[in-house]
A and B are shown apart, each in its own frame.
Chain A
Amino acid sequence: MMMFGASKADRRLLPEGRLAGPMPWVIAIMMFLTALAAAGGLAMESAAARLGADLGRQVTVQIVLADPAKRDQEADAARQLLARQQGVTDVRRIGDDEMQALLRPWLGDAGLERDLPLPAMIDVSLSRAGRDRLGAITNALRTAAPHARLDDHASWLAPLVSLIRALGLLAGGIVALMVGATAAAVVLAARTALNTHRQTIDVMHLMGATDVQIARLFQRRIALDALFGGVLGLVGAVGVILLLGERMREIGSELVGSIALPWTAWIVLLALPLLAGVLALTVARITVQRALGRTL
């Protein structure tokens, strides 16, 4: 039935102008916070996945020997053995210059000039299969280079990934609370609208309007208000997210840089106002129909 769907005549039945009440603005604030929490959660989840997948497949081999000749000899043996191992995708010995550049911020030029024995460092990249046979690789390494020490990045990244995942879950919880609060705001708005238009509803009821027809009047209005508030809140949140992204890039840290929003997350964020509209429509429909169901 077209009645109360979208025609101008139907819209005139509820005269209150759009944005007249506080609901669109309340929804805008909630959407702003929801989008920020959702973006945070999605970015954390993405970062945790990336850290677990990429950095977790990195290991570093250190050979700590005071004698430079023996150190180089074991380093070469280790490098050659690692290169032959199944599941090892890349082996690279860190050069002395690079080592000194890494240590310079802590030791200073003076510290480096002292004949400081630096360990030989080898960066090793593993495939997923290589990650699974890390134990076998470690055993083989001990034979080829007895003074080699294997530093698994995953072991120190695990608590960090766990923390990031916990933050992601927290953000998810905040989103869930926001959804509940938005639904509650819609219930209040629908009840207020019902009271405001009680006279119109009574007359329509007595003329044979069904609960669904009357509910459609309210759900359409409330859904449009929620959509407007949702878009407004999302625009604000996207501005903040872009600003934060810019600041993070300026830090230049690989770890901080890993906290980024994938394109799928942007789609989720852009869909939030629509979801708010659908949520408002559904909640308004149920609220109005329940209230009408208590009348004759």
Chain B
Amino acid sequence: MAGIVQFENVGLRYGTGAETLSDLSFSLAQGGFYFLTGPSGAGKTSLLKMLYLAQRPSRGSIRLFGEDVVQLRRTRLPGFRRRIGMVFQDFRLIPHLSAFDNIALPLRIAGVDERDLVTPVREMLAWVGLADRASARPPTLSGGEQQRVAIARAVIGRPEMLVADEPTGNVDPEMAARLLHLFDALNTLGTTIIVATHDIHLLSRVASANVMRLDRGQLQDPTGALRYPPRPDFGQEARP
């Protein structure tokens, strides 16, 4: 299976301080399911930012969907971003929009006709258990409800790659299991999933998942799945 993400000697430094991330070289297979774990401050969010193209590295090369995104012209970034779904740690819902409008936003950005987006958005609301909260605005939703809206917004456009930062941090175990099931279902459909989490119990919930561990800006590879270039048989193990 082809690598959807390839990092080669990537380093990230904010300002003039020490490198937050150092010498990251790894490859993620298309259709793979990855957990990114590590202690607070290890650089998980910084790595995710580079994955969803909110941050360019200070050095090294990043290839996404087969193209070098470090050198990519700025005008081409929106096209790449539309292929990526993001769940932010702080949700980043637009506070003055209803849950429905927040979830519909990626589809509207992609130019989907208003008539064609109502059904999928309502289905997604029902799936995350918020069918009766469609018109509620984020400030009136609980943390868990906001997180579900954020996840629904990330997956509504059937992204090729989903990047989620602590997506189950504010939901109860039952809802966490449902959300993971949603991610797994998306993964079955071919979406590459990358989930950053502190929750070590979550790691065992997806049998096919590989684990990436960040520690003080360095990447550990406990499952050996991140070798770059990847093993020839890699990806067959990504799906059972």
Q: Mark B50-65, 1 if CB is under 8 A from A, else 0.
A: 0011111000000000
Whether A3 lies near B94 (C-beta < 8 A) is no
Residues of A near B74 (CB, < 8 A) are: 293, 296
Q: Is A15 an interface residue (CB 8 A)?
A: yes
Q: How many of A's residues come within 8 Å of B, CB to CB?
A: 23
Across the interface, A3 reaches (CB within 8 A) one of B52, B53, B95, B111, namely: B111
Interface residues of B in 51-98 (CB under 8 A from A): 52-56, 74-75, 77-82, 86, 92, 94-97
Kindly state the separation between the CA atoms of A208 and B75 in the bound complex, as whole angstroms.
10
Q: Is B200 an interface residue (CB 8 A)?
A: no
Query: Shortest distance in angstroms between A17's beta carbon and chain B's nearest beta carbon?
Result: 11
Residues of B near A206 (CB, < 8 A) are: 52-54, 81, 86
Whether B111 lies near A207 (C-beta < 8 A) is no
- A208-B79, A293-B74, A296-B77 are contacts. A15–B96 as well, Cβ < 8 Å? yes
Q: Is B18 an interface residue (CB 8 A)?
A: no
Binding stretch for chain A, among B6-14, B101-109, B227-235: B101-109
Query: Shortest distance in angstroms between A197's beta carbon and chain B's nearest beta carbon?
Result: 9
Which residue of chain B has its CB nearest to the CB of A203? B92
Across the interface, B94 reaches (CB within 8 A) one of A7, A199, A205, A209, namely: A199
Q: Interface extent on B, as a size class?
A: 20 to 34
Q: Is A72 an interface residue (CB 8 A)?
A: no
Whether A9 lies near B101 (C-beta < 8 A) is yes
Residues of A near B82 (CB, < 8 A) are: 207-208
Q: Is A151 an interface residue (CB 8 A)?
A: no
Query: Shortest distance in angstroms between A296's beta carbon and chain B's nearest beta carbon?
Result: 6
Whether B79 lies near A204 (C-beta < 8 A) is no
Residues of A near B109 (CB, < 8 A) are: 3, 204, 207-209, 213
Query: Shortest distance in angstroms between B185's beta carbon and chain A's nearest beta carbon?
Result: 22
Q: Is B141 an interface residue (CB 8 A)?
A: no
Residues of A near B105 (CB, < 8 A) are: 203-204, 207
Whether A7 lies near B114 (C-beta < 8 A) is yes
Residues of B near A200 (CB, < 8 A) are: 94
Query: Shortest distance in angstroms between A214's beta carbon and chain B's nearest beta carbon?
Result: 10
Q: Is B189 an interface residue (CB 8 A)?
A: no
Across the interface, A209 reaches (CB within 8 A) one of B53, B78, B95, B97, namely: B78
Kindly state the separation between the CA atoms of A23 and B114 in the bound complex, as whole angstroms.
32
Residues of A near B110 (CB, < 8 A) are: 208
Query: Shortest distance in angstroms between A223's beta carbon and chain B's nearest beta carbon?
Result: 21
Which residue of chain B has its CB nearest to the CB of A2? B111
Q: Is A242 an interface residue (CB 8 A)?
A: no
Q: Is A109 an interface residue (CB 8 A)?
A: no
Q: Is A210 an interface residue (CB 8 A)?
A: yes
Whether A12 lies near B97 (C-beta < 8 A) is yes
Across the interface, A13 reaches (CB within 8 A) one of B54, B56, B92, B97, namely: B97
Residues of B near A15 (CB, < 8 A) are: 96
Interface residues of A in 62-100 (CB under 8 A from B): none
- A208-B78, A208-B79, A296-B55 are contacts. A3–B108 as well, Cβ < 8 Å? yes
Residues of B near A205 (CB, < 8 A) are: 78, 81
Kindly state the separation between the CA atoms of A204 and B55 in the bound complex, as whole angstroms.
15
Whether A199 lies near B111 (C-beta < 8 A) is no
Residues of A near B108 (CB, < 8 A) are: 3, 9-10
Q: Which of A9, A203, A204 has the most CB of B within 10 A?
A: A203
| Sample of 9 more A-B contacts, CB < 8 Å, known A2-B111, A12-B96, A296-B77 | A1-B111, A9-B108, A199-B94, A199-B95, A206-B53, A206-B81, A213-B109, A296-B53, A296-B54
Identify 13 residue pairs between A and B in the complex whose beta-carbon atoms are under 8 Å apart, listed by A's number. Answer: A2-B113, A9-B101, A199-B94, A203-B94, A206-B53, A207-B82, A207-B106, A207-B109, A208-B79, A209-B78, A296-B55, A296-B56, A296-B74
State the A residues within 8 Å of B (CB): 1-3, 7, 9-10, 12-13, 15, 199-200, 202-210, 213, 293, 296
Question: Which 9 interchain pairs have the tightest Cβ spacing?
Answer: A208-B82, A208-B81, A15-B96, A208-B78, A1-B111, A210-B78, A209-B109, A207-B106, A203-B92
